[in-house]
Chain A
Amino acid sequence: MTDDSKTPISFYGTMTASATHELKNILAIINENNGLMDDLAFMALNQESDSVAPERIQSVCSKISKQILRADTVLKNLNQFAHLADKNKTSIDLYDNISYMLIFAGRLIERHEVAVNIEPPEEPHLFLMDRFQLCHVIWLTLETSCRCILGDKKIDVHIKSGSKGQTVVFKIFSPTDFWLNEFKILQETISTMSSVELILYEDTCSFELDFSNCS
């Protein structure tokens, strides 16, 4: 695990930096589209081209609209992230929160070129937990998984419901040699910061996050 996101404050920094970086990229695209409109207007005024085709202008406007929608989504997710710490314990739907983190941290996961596949559970189950803490645990798990993967970069996630509570099972395809060491460190970190238990299965290169003790 890197030192980048071990503590709550560094997790907060990593996530907000990623979101603001994505917003910068979006602004860059809007800036260039705006600049192109300016270039086209300049060429038309100086009669460097016969005329500017309306379809061209529409295409540029449509690209700007698409980026605005994209920026709005990033900001909504960032706002949701900012509000995670509003309440100490709240009613949690695991699938919703893991899905949220996969989207919000998507850019960071994409840097590792890893595909994460999550199946929705047969039925939702709710339990009480600090939502910020939950998202932090999910992030640390995803980040460690992404670093411990080779070749066919794929992680499968599914949620199991037992009599005592819910667990999330992660299966890493093509793990690195050092995956077990990294996950033992993660196991210790998670145990010191929450009631979540990380259970490792060496033979199947998989692990579980057990939330039974959380409610």
Chain B
Amino acid sequence: MPEKVLLVDDETEFLEIMSERMRNRGMNVTTTDSADKALTILEKETFDAIVMDFQMPGMDGIKALKTIKNLKPELQIILLTGYATVEKTVEAMKIGAADFLEKPADIEILTEKIKKAKAEKMLIVEKQTEEKIKDILARHGGGS
């Protein structure tokens, strides 16, 4: 199944072209130009990964990251930035970003990171499902 990705960047030309190249590589891509709009989309749809510009007008990158992690803890977030400083990277990773890429990004590297993010997300969802099943079995006395 193709990777389902939400691509977020305030540069609409970048969004257009990057999403086309990602679709050419078999991904299912939704685009939006702000963190606020991304949150609205995330409330209704599920994604394997979100690729997001770290510095956009409106919501601060760190706040956006925290809000998304609260809303969808299993969602893997890959951040794009003009300049990746050690401080920025560490702070973002502590909050829960899966990965960090500097612009201009190599699309093959990004594609690999998205595949890895999807695999990571699936592991998390599997684990959550196992926990739920264990919980149900425990409440019903282990089943017969």
Could you pull out 16 A-B pairs where Cβ atoms are within 8 angstroms?
A: A20-B83, A21-B55, A21-B82, A21-B83, A24-B83, A24-B103, A25-B11, A28-B11, A28-B14, A29-B11, A29-B14, A32-B17, A32-B21, A32-B104, A63-B17, A113-B58
Q: Inside 8 A of A113's CB, which chain B residues have their CB? A: 57-58
Looking at the complex, which one of A27, A28, A110 makes contact with B57 (CB distance below 8 Å)? Answer: A110
Interface residues of B in 14-63 (CB under 8 A from A): 14, 17-18, 20-21, 24, 55-58
A141 to chain B, nearest CB (A): 20
Q: Inside 8 A of B11's CB, which chain A residues have their CB? A: 25, 28-29
Q: Inside 8 A of B105's CB, which chain A residues have their CB? A: 28, 31
A6 to B18 alpha-carbon distance, docked (Å): 38
A21 to B61 alpha-carbon distance, docked (Å): 15
Does A121 reach chain B (CB closer than 8 Å)?
Answer: no
On B, residues with C-beta under 8 Å from A are 11, 13-14, 17-18, 20-21, 24, 55-58, 80, 82-83, 103-105, 107
Residue interface bits A35-70, CB-to-B below 8 A is 1, else 0: 110010001000000000000000000010011000
A112 to B55 alpha-carbon distance, docked (Å): 12
A36 to B14 alpha-carbon distance, docked (Å): 12
Where chain A touches its partner, the secondary structure class is: helix
Task: Please state if A36 and B57 are interface contacts (CB–CB under 8 Å).
Answer: no
B11 to chain A, nearest CB (A): 5
Residues of A in contact (CB 8 Å), total 22
A27 to B103 alpha-carbon distance, docked (Å): 8
Task: Please state if B82 and A35 are interface contacts (CB–CB under 8 Å).
Answer: no
A206 to B74 alpha-carbon distance, docked (Å): 47
Q: Inside 8 A of A27's CB, which chain B residues have their CB? A: 103-104
Looking at the complex, which one of B13, B24, B56, B104 makes contact with A39 (CB distance below 8 Å)? Answer: B24
Does A111 reach chain B (CB closer than 8 Å)?
Answer: yes
Q: Inside 8 A of A24's CB, which chain B residues have their CB? A: 82-83, 103-104
Task: Please state if A35 and B13 are interface contacts (CB–CB under 8 Å).
Answer: no
Looking at the complex, which one of A30, A32, A43, A111 makes contact with B18 (CB distance below 8 Å)? Answer: A32
A39 to B80 alpha-carbon distance, docked (Å): 22
Does A194 reach chain B (CB closer than 8 Å)?
Answer: no
